[in-house]
Every structure is written in structure tokens, then in C-alpha cells.
Amino acid sequence: MILPIAVAHRSAGAAMLAIAIGLFLVAFLVVPVATVVYVAFTEKGGGGFTLVNFLDFARTDLFVRSFWNSIYVSAMTVLWSSAFALPLAYLTTRFEFRGAALVQTLAFLPLIMPPFVGAVAMQLLFGRNGTLNLLLDDYFGFKIGFMEGLNGVIFLQAIHYFPFILVNLSAALRNIDRSMEEAAQNLGSHGLRLFRRIAFPLALPGYVAGASLVFVKVFDDVASPLLLNVKEMLAPQAYLRIASIGIDDPMGYVIAVVLIVLAVATMWGSAQVLKGKDYATTQRGGGGLARRPLTGRQSFLAYALVLLILALVLAPHVGLLLLSFATVWSYSPLPDGFTLAHYARVLGDSSGYITNTLLYSGLAAGLDVALGGAIAYLVLRTRLPGRTMLDWGAGAALAVPGVVLGIGYLRAFYGVKLPDGTPLATLWIMIVLAIAIRRLPYALRAAYAALQQISVSLEEAAENLGATRSRTVRRIVIPLMTGGLLAGFVTSFATAAVELSAVLMLVQSNSDAPLSYGIYVLMQTPAGRGAGAALGVIAVIIVAVCMGFSQLAADRSQRARGLEL
Amino acid sequence: MSAVAIDIRGVNLSYGPTHVLKDIDLSIRPGELFAFLGPSGCGKTTLLRLIAGFAQAQTGQVLLDGQDVAGLSPWKRDVGMVFQSYALWPHMTVAQNVAFGLEERRKPRAEIAAKVAQALELVGLSAYAQRRPAQLSGGQQQRVALARTIAIEPKVLLLDEPLSNLDARMRVSVRRDLRELQQRLGLTTIFVTHDQEEANTICDRIAVMEAGVIRQVGTPMELYERPANLFVASFLGSANILDGGAGVAVPAGQRLVFRPQHASLAPAAGAAMSGPVSHREFLGATVRYGVRIGDHEILVDAPFQSGAELRAIGETVGVALPPERMLYLPA
């Protein structure tokens, strides 16, 4: 698309905006990450360049073991997530199945509750002395080690993250033109063979996108393994090292570099796999094979499968709810008694967690929407040199694990002191900035979507009638983007409310801590679990309400635009 | 393999409340190149998909070589279909695409290789075996789709709008190639199109469809010379359709139908039909005039002689029509 020449002399404002955003990204993303990398490659105490730290890492059994454990857990989680997601995706895209709507809503669950929140509840339901195993032992005389060691992490993560694969794979399956599969049927192929030779290869980009996302998320998760008492994984080791030895110890930074390299390598690897495989095959014929009806027996099996998976997915939620009302719950299938005391406690003494969360998430989401909207506009509507750098920079936040960003903030801003001598890194606003950077890629995507739906001719019409560029933005672009931006704001807000890994590094005192931190701290001790669970339930409610609202806002803006066109 | 007849008997097909095919009866002879011709939404593609097994009729039978195929899944029918979009699989090379059907039939590897080579040679794409579909032009993609289908030696060949994704110049040469290939293979072939020129130029017989009904079956000449109804008359070529209001006598409940090239311009005085020239198109060999008579605009094709003066817009002219060219059809 060629924009009018007239844009050029009006771009001074745009250039200023771009520079401001660029400086922000440099200060709060590039500098912290660069600091981490720098420290990892320097001798302790400020010497020159060295690889000694990495040698130490490779020579320390604990780290090597942790590395392989993390790889193993991430890979097994992808495997199990695929085992859940594949049949569900195939079922809902290729058969007439009333349960499809149910399966679709599963997709939102991992966004509503991150795995660490339900970790303790899962231990109580599926652990060695949890509900299921106590019942199994009573009736059948055996137990299943769902939650033993690394298995527990895999089980928990797979239940939370399989929807990422499900959503991506289903979308890809739906985008296959029906003639692709009909042609195969016409030539004699059907059933599983048809799926293996035609449907799955064509949907592979979607599968790989989902699977690599799951792999990275699990690899970077700090809190879930720790709450399951698994310390020998890489991300938890980074946190433990800094938390117990201090920010001068290089090992935490080395691990952080390993985490970044692994995240980037996974994304690069998936991009390599997908190179030249952008099979957009949907044509006017409409996507997806005509859905086949299920026979009675197939239908029964399908429902059984969906209900089993649904039960698993809801287990942490149910467990959390029970725990939040429980007086004492251990060595018994259900709690001994029920009480409202935990809610009283978190809404009374500990209500600071909640107000902090609302404040931090609100600020972070507002910042994200402003930045996202501005970057989207600069990239899509101006020809400013270097504008794609902004896009690239904001997107790069995806590859930076939360714990790495947290360590980077600590190190980069600890030395920067306010006039009264307080280190910058200890201010609560740093938590907000870290959360905002973490969520920025998602807000940016929402802004792109909102702006892409606005035809350039609407803006040209305004300029043709005499509106200046900035007035066009104010009177045409922003009003039309409102729905999309609002949805972006609410989604950012909701997911920011349960962000933990960066927060874990940055919280200096309990009075500055948000919900997610409160849940993590309370869940550590048997005495605090009930209150932690109550906080967890409140977090889930906040997030669920926001998600519902965001969906509503997106629907409404879609409909409004539908009327305009 | 000897060519196979296709018989369709009493077929009715509905999608919910929409009655897509109504009482279809059709016999297609062995070795024939047969067209389903009609405007979009007339049910021609659905009828084709029914034969391939991708649609289910509520009543009626589809017989291939006398065998009812109603209960057979698409993958058991041995009916080769070339899709409008070609449906080439982007994750496979040309050779892999062509080999697919043979692999599904568990043929020995040597035989597969030989037949793939043979099929690609037949469509002139032997040099492109290792390319991906995306690296080929539209015309080449279409030939791959054709090779993929004929490699399995199907009983019949179904072509769904095979020329619609090609540019105008390609169509003329590709349709001739298709005809030659069909003749060489001797395959009973159905060709779905909305373009009467495509159907007329290469097909042996045509079924003209409208709104789920077959309006007439015949050779291109029969349909053109003796249309059975107004729809066929107006869908194939241009036709003037007049009721009694234009100065000629037309029996009640009927319409007078004639082609523009069968009428001629005459002096206005003494002509049964006359009126002002309202429209003029220069077509090269002929000039097409529109003459306004009452509510009608009658089209008349006059041969163009170089140097001759064209009639001016507004000039009053008569329209002459030999009685043997007058066709009366039910309204």
C-alpha cells in the first residue's frame, strides 16, 4: 500500500512518539536483559569477559540435572498435552458433536488460572495421600503416582497447557479447504490414514505453534515446580540462587541466559520446521470437511473422553474451591469441615494483595494498550524508518522468561538510587513496568487486529474533508479501535493479575505484593493454604469476569462494525 | 478398460429445507463427454458431488455400469474427480500427489513409479515431478490434478469447473487439450460449467440445469436450434423473446423466440415491427442493433461490410424475420 506523500511532512509528531516508545523499550526491556547477559559473561566482582561461569554451570551436577529435568518435563508435557488435544481437535472439527462448545470453553481455562495456583490443590486431589489415591487404596488396594516428583509437574502443566495446542490445532484444521480431504477420499483414502497423510500435515503449522508455546511456558515456569516441592529444575534454580545467595552470584544469570537461549532456540526451531509451510488452503468452498455424524457408540466414547478431560481440567479449580473453604484437609478424601474464615482473613488483613493487584494490573494494562495502539499505528499507518524495530522489540518480550526479566530489573536498577537512597529496583512501580513489558506482545496483537479492521479509506475520507492527521486519529481511528483496545486492555489486565515469575523477583515487602505473590507465599505452609486458596479463588473470579467482559466487548465492537460496513 | 455408462434415476436431494436437486433422470453414454450447464446455484456441482459420493440423495439411484453406488463411500467408488480448486496438497511434490491414489490402493512400488511417470507424461509435466504445486502455474496445476486423477484409472472422470481458474486465453487451448485427452482415454466424462461456450465447443451432449431441475438434454446444436423452453433459449446464446405487445401475433400463453442473427433490418415502411434504434454495438463481423418496439428492445445482428454506414441511434428502422425462424415456446 502506498501512502500519500503528504504524510511525510506531518510525521514529526509520529517520529517523536516512536522515539519515546523506543527509549521505553530500551530502558525496561533491552537494558535489563542485556545486563543479565553481561553479568553471565563477566568474572564475579566486575572483571573482564569470561566463560568461567558457564563452565561452572556445566560442572555443577545440580544444574546439569536441573537442565535435563526441565527438558524432560517440558517435552513430556508437550507429549501429554498432544494426547489430550489431538482427539479433541479432530472430534470437534470433523464430526457433528454437540460437546464442541464445551471443548471450546476449555480453551480459556489456562488463561483464567495459571498452573501454580492449583498446584497445592492438585497435590491434595491426586497426591500420594490425596483424594483419588485414598479412594483407590481403600477399594482396590493400590495407588497411582500422578504427583510423584517430576510426574506431578508434568501432570499439572499438561492439564493447564493442552488448550494452547487444542486451539491452534483446531484453527488449523478448520482452515483446511474441504476439497483437500475430499480429493484424498476420492482417490481412495479415509479414516486415520486420511488424517495422518493429509489433515495432520496440513495442520502441522498450528500444531507446532501450540506445542512450542507449551514447551517454552513449562520450561520457564518457576512457581509451579516449587509449590510441588520440585527444586531441581532450571527456572526454579535461577530464582532460588538469586533469592538465597543474592544478586551478585553469577549462577542465577548463567541460568537466565540458558533460559533465554532455550526460548529463542525453541521459537527459531519451530520457525524452521514451518518454513515454507504456510498452507493457507481455505478457498471460497469453505473450510473443513463436511462434518460427519457420530454413530451411537462413537458418540458415547466421544462424550466419555470429553467428560474425562473436562474433569481433569476442572480438578484444580474444584480442589482450590474446596481448599478455600476447608478447616483441615489432609490424609482424607475431603476436608474435615468447612469455614469462611479464610475468606475473612484475605478480605481483612490481607486485602492489600487485592488492592495492589487491581492497581498494578490496571496501570500495566493501560500502559500496554497505549503502547500497543501507538506501535500498531506507527507500523501500519506510517512509513517511518525503523518502525518495524518497535514491532520487533515489543514482540521480543515473548522470548524473555519472566524470571529473567525480574533478575534483570533487580540487577540493572538496584544500583540506581533515588535522592533518599532507596534503590529504584525496590519501588513497586518496577513491578508494574515488568508486568507491562511481559504483557505487551499480547496487547500489541489486539491493537493490530483492531487497526487492521479499519479500512484506510475511512481515514482518507476524513483527511479529504479537511481533518489533519492528528485530528483524524482522534476522531476516526481511536473511536473505531475502542472496542478492540478495550478487549486488549481487559485481557492484559486479567493475565497481569496472575503474573508471577517476574513479580517473584521484584517484591521487596509484603505490603507491596500483588495477589499472585500472596498466593505463592501462603501456599508454602499448611497453615496458610486455606487463605492462599481463598486468594486463588478471588483471582480466578477477577480474571474470569474480565475475560467474559472482554469477550462481550469484542463481540459488541464486531457487531457495531458489521452495521457500519 | 472399456467405458462405463452413468445412469441417474429419480434423484431428489435436499439440504434442510432447500430442495437442491429435483427428480433428476439422466443417462450418460459410455465414452461421452457430457456437460452439466447452468447458472451458479442450479445444482450442477451438487449432482457431480452426488456421483462422487460427497452428497447423499434422499431418493433415487446412481448407477455406474449398471451398479447402484448409493451405499459406497467416496473412497470405494473409483470415480475420478478434478476439483475446481484442483485441491493439490501443498505438502507433497507433484509426483507424490500423483502417486497418492496408487499408494492408497497398495500397488507395488515399481508399478506406482511407472504409472506416475506415465500419467505425468500424458499431461506433459514429466519435467516437473519434483516440484511443489505452489511452484507451478495455474494451467500446470490443473494438469497435475488431472494426472493425479487419471493415474488411478477411474471408471469415470468428473471435472468441476475445470477452466474457471484459468485466464481467458488459457481456457481455449486447455479445453481443446481436455477434449483430446478424453478422446484418447475413452473415459466417460462429466464436465460441470456455467459457461455455454465451453460446453458447446467440446462436449458431446449437454444437460441444461436451472434451480435443481434439468430443463433439457441434447447436443449443442439441438439445444441451440430447438430449445425446449425459454430458459434454454435465453441461456444458450442471445434470444429475443416477445409477447404480443410488439406488433406480431403471439398465441396466448406462448412467446415468440428468435435469434438476433436470424432477423434483419428492413425499411420501416411496411414492416410488421418497426421502431427507433436505441443501442448499437460493433462486434467486428457483425453490428448488433437494439431496436425499441413498444416495451421491448429487439436485438438484430447485421453483417458488417467495410465502408458501409452504420444506422444512427434514433433512426427508425423495420425488423424483418423469415417465418421459418420463428419459434413459439410456452411462457
Residue A152 lies in a domain: no
CB–CB contact B79 A186 (8 Å): yes
Same domain, B308 and B165: no
Residue B240 lies in a domain: no
Chain A residue closest in CA terms to B145: A183
* CA distance to A448, B34, B73, B325, per residue, from B242 (Å): 58, 32, 49, 14
Same domain, B217 and B306: no
Q: Residue B126 has what DSSP assignment? A: G
For strands B286-293 and B296-303, give the pairing. antiparallel
Q: How far apart are CA A342 and CA B121, in angstroms?
A: 78
Which of A179, A190, A193 lies at the smallest CB-CB distance from B83?
A179
- Each of the 565 residues of chain A gets a pLDDT tens digit; together they read 444 444 444 567 788 888 999 999 998 999 999 989 888 888 877 677 888 888 888 888 898 999 999 999 999 999 999 998 888 888 888 888 777 777 777 767 766 788 888 888 888 888 887 888 888 888 888 888 788 889 999 999 998 888 888 888 888 888 888 888 889 999 988 888 888 899 889 888 889 988 998 999 999 999 899 988 898 999 999 999 888 888 888 888 999 999 999 999 998 888 888 876 766 555 544 444 567 777 788 888 888 888 888 888 888 888 899 888 888 787 778 888 788 888 888 888 778 888 888 899 999 999 999 999 999 988 888 888 888 888 888 888 888 898 999 999 988 888 778 888 778 777 888 999 999 999 898 888 888 888 887 777 777 777 777 777 788 888 888 888 887 788 888 888 888 888 888 888 888 888 888 888 888 988 888 888 888 888 889 888 888 888 788 777 767 766 665 544 3
- Strand locations in chain B (E): 6-15, 18-28, 33-37, 59-64, 67-68, 79-82, 156-160, 188-193, 205-210, 213-218, 240-242, 254-258, 264-266, 273-282, 286-293, 296-303, 316-320, 327-330
* CA distance to A7, A372, A375, A454, A467, per residue, from A384 (Å): 10, 16, 11, 20, 21
Same domain, B199 and B256: no
Q: What letters, b where the CB count within 10 A reaches 16 and e where it falls short, cover B141-163?
A: bbbbbbbbbbbbbbbbbbbbbbb
Which of A183, A277, A279 lies at the smallest CB-CB distance from B87?
A183
Q: Which residues of A touch B138 (CB under 8 A)?
A: none
Q: Which residues of A touch B84 (CB under 8 A)?
A: 179, 285
Same domain, B270 and B176: no
Same domain, B212 and B322: no
In Å, how far is A36's CA from the nearest CA of chain B?
42
Quick one: chain B helix, strand, coil %, rounded to 5? 30, 30, 35
Please classify residue B199 by burial: count the beta carbons closer than 10 Å to its beta carbon, then call 0-12 exposed, 13-18 middle and 19+ buried.
buried
* Main-chain phi, psi angles of B269, to 5 degrees: -65, 130
In Å, how far is B134's CA from the nearest CA of chain A?
10
Quick one: chain A helix, strand, coil %, rounded to 5? 75, 0, 20
Same domain, B213 and B280: no
Same domain, B173 and B46: yes
CB–CB contact A185 B74 (8 Å): yes
Number of domains in chain A: 1
Residue A485 lies in a domain: yes
* Main-chain phi, psi angles of A423, to 5 degrees: -65, 140
8 Å CB contact between A444 and A380: no
3-state secondary structure of B10: strand
Chain B residue closest in CA terms to A202: B91
In Å, how far is A186's CA from the nearest CA of chain B?
5
Same domain, B70 and B214: yes
Q: How far apart are CA B254 and CA A548, in angstroms?
A: 64
Q: How far apart are CA A60 and CA A247, in angstroms?
A: 19
Q: How far apart are CA A145 and CA A137, in angstroms?
A: 12
Q: Which residues of A touch B41 (CB under 8 A)?
A: none
State the cell numbers at B49. 458431488
ipTM score assigned to the predicted complex: 0.78
State the cell numbers at A508. 521487596
CB–CB contact A182 B79 (8 Å): no
In Å, how far is B142's CA from the nearest CA of chain A?
13
**CB count, 10 Å around CB of A478?**
13
Residue B239 lies in a domain: no
Chain A residue closest in CA terms to B90: A279
Sheet containing B264-266: order of strands: B264-266, B316-320, B273-282, B286-293, B296-303
Cell 489431538 identifies what position? A86
Strand partners, B213: B210
Number of domains in chain B: 2
Q: Which residues of A touch B148 (CB under 8 A)?
A: 183, 187
Strand partners, A287: A177
Chain B residue closest in CA terms to A179: B87
Interval A403-444: pLDDT, tens: 999 999 988 888 778 888 778 777 888 999 999 999 898 888
Interface-testing mutation among B45, B81, B93, B164, with chain A (most A C-beta atoms within 10 A): B81
8 Å CB contact between A497 and A539: yes
Q: How far apart are CA B89 and CA A279, in angstroms?
A: 9
Residue A474 lies in a domain: yes
Chain A residue closest in CA terms to B151: A187
Interval A343-382: pLDDT, tens: 888 888 778 888 888 899 999 999 999 999 999 988 888 8
**CB count, 10 Å around CB of A538?**
22
3-state secondary structure A323-367: HHHECCCCCCCCCCCECCHHHHHHHCCCHHHHHHHHHHHHHHHHH
Q: Which residues of A touch B119 (CB under 8 A)?
A: none
Cell 536498577 identifies what position? A413
Degrees (nearest 5) of the Cα angle B182, B184, B189?
20
Same domain, B217 and B68: yes
CATH value at residue A18: 1.10.3720.10
Alpha helices in A234-386 (DSSP H): 234-245, 250-274, 296-325, 341-347, 351-381
| Domain interval for residue A458 | 1-33+340-399+416-565
Residue A370 lies in a domain: yes
Residue A296 lies in a domain: no
Q: Does A283 touch chain B (CB under 8 A)?
A: yes
Which of A177, A189, A202 lies at the smallest CB-CB distance from B85?
A177
CATH value at residue B56: 3.40.50.300
Strand partners, B8: B26, B62
Which of A179, A189, A279 lies at the smallest CB-CB distance from B87?
A179
Q: What letters, b where the CB count within 10 A reaches 16 and e where it falls short, cover B169-196?
A: eebeebbebbbebbeebebbbbbbbbeb
Which of A189, A198, A285 lies at the smallest CB-CB distance from B75?
A189
Q: Which residues of B touch A180 (CB under 8 A)?
A: 87, 89
Q: How far apart are CA B36 and CA B194, in angstroms?
A: 8
In Å, how far is A270's CA from the nearest CA of chain B?
17
Residue A308 lies in a domain: no
CB–CB contact A182 B83 (8 Å): yes
3-state secondary structure of B326: coil
**Of A532, A129, A123, which is closest to residue A319 (Cα–Cα)?**
A123
3-state secondary structure of B47: helix
Chain A residue closest in CA terms to B105: A188
**How many beta-carbon pairs below 8 A join chains A and B?**
74
Degrees (nearest 5) of the Cα angle B213, B214, B215?
105
CB–CB contact A184 B80 (8 Å): no
For strands B205-210 and B33-37, give the pairing. parallel
Same domain, B200 and B305: no
Q: Does A285 touch chain B (CB under 8 A)?
A: yes
Same domain, B100 and B190: yes
Interface-testing mutation among B54, B73, B149, with chain A (most A C-beta atoms within 10 A): B54
CB–CB contact A198 B104 (8 Å): no
8 Å CB contact between A173 and A281: no
CB–CB contact A189 B100 (8 Å): yes
* Main-chain phi, psi angles of A416, to 5 degrees: -80, 115
Residue ending a domain, among B210, B234, B258, is B234
Residue A269 lies in a domain: no
Residue B1 lies in a domain: no
CB–CB contact B74 A283 (8 Å): no
Q: Residue B206 has what DSSP assignment? A: E
Which of B84, B85, B91 lies at the smallest CB-CB distance from A202?
B91
CATH value at residue B280: 2.40.50.140
Q: Give A355's contacts (C-beta < 8 A, 6+ positions apart).
A: none
**Of A393, A357, A399, which is closest to residue A496 (Cα–Cα)?**
A357
Q: Does A291 touch chain B (CB under 8 A)?
A: no
| C-alpha atoms less than 13 angstroms from C-alpha of B301 in its C-beta half-sphere | 14
Q: How far apart are CA A125 and CA A318, in angstroms?
A: 9
CB–CB contact B89 A277 (8 Å): no
Q: Give A74's contacts (C-beta < 8 A, 6+ positions apart).
A: A214, A215, A216, A218, A219
**CB count, 10 Å around CB of A87?**
16
Chain B residue closest in CA terms to A292: B54
Kindly list the residues of chain B whose beta carbon comes within 8 Å of any beta carbon in chain A.
52-54, 73-77, 79-81, 83-85, 87, 89-91, 100-101, 104-105, 148-149, 152
Interface-testing mutation among B84, B89, B107, B160, with chain A (most A C-beta atoms within 10 A): B89
Which of B87, B100, B152 lies at the smallest CB-CB distance from A182?
B87
Residue B38 lies in a domain: yes
| Domain interval for residue B298 | 246-330
Q: How far apart are CA A122 and CA A198, in angstroms?
A: 38
Residue A438 lies in a domain: yes
Amino acid at A146: F
Residue ending a domain, among B182, B211, B234, is B234
**Of A559, A561, A520, A532, which is closest to residue A236 (Cα–Cα)?**
A520
CB–CB contact A185 B100 (8 Å): no
CB–CB contact B52 A202 (8 Å): no
* Main-chain phi, psi angles of A16, to 5 degrees: -60, -45
Q: How far apart are CA A194 and CA A247, in angstroms?
A: 55
- Each of the 331 residues of chain B gets a pLDDT tens digit; together they read 578 999 999 999 998 888 899 999 999 999 999 999 999 889 999 999 999 988 888 999 999 998 998 888 888 888 999 998 888 888 889 999 999 999 988 999 999 999 999 999 988 999 999 999 888 988 899 999 999 999 989 999 999 998 888 888 888 888 898 999 999 989 999 999 999 888 999 999 999 999 999 999 999 999 988 899 999 998 888 888 888 766 777 888 888 888 998 888 888 887 778 889 998 988 888 899 999 988 888 899 988 888 778 888 988 888 888 888 888 888 7
The region, left, alpha or beta by phi > 0 then psi within -120 to 50, assigned to residue B32 is beta
Residue ending a domain, among B214, B234, B254, is B234
Distance of CA A190 to the CA centre of its chain: 37
CB–CB contact A186 B104 (8 Å): no
For strands B205-210 and B213-218, give the pairing. antiparallel
8 Å CB contact between B134 and B86: no
Q: Which residues of A touch B72 (CB under 8 A)?
A: none
**Of A209, A196, A177, which is closest to residue A90 (Cα–Cα)?**
A196
DSSP string computed for A536-563: HHHHHHHHHHHHHHHHHHHHHHHHHHHH
Interface-testing mutation among A179, A186, A189, A282, with chain B (most B C-beta atoms within 10 A): A186
Same domain, B256 and B221: no
* CA distance to A381, A460, B60, B124, per residue, from A3 (Å): 8, 10, 60, 45
- Portion 181-200 of A in contact with B at CB < 8 A: 182-190, 193, 197-198
In Å, how far is A563's CA from the nearest CA of chain B?
27
Helix A234-245, helix A200-220: angle, nearest 10 = 20
**CB count, 10 Å around CB of A546?**
23
Q: Which residues of B touch A287 (CB under 8 A)?
A: none
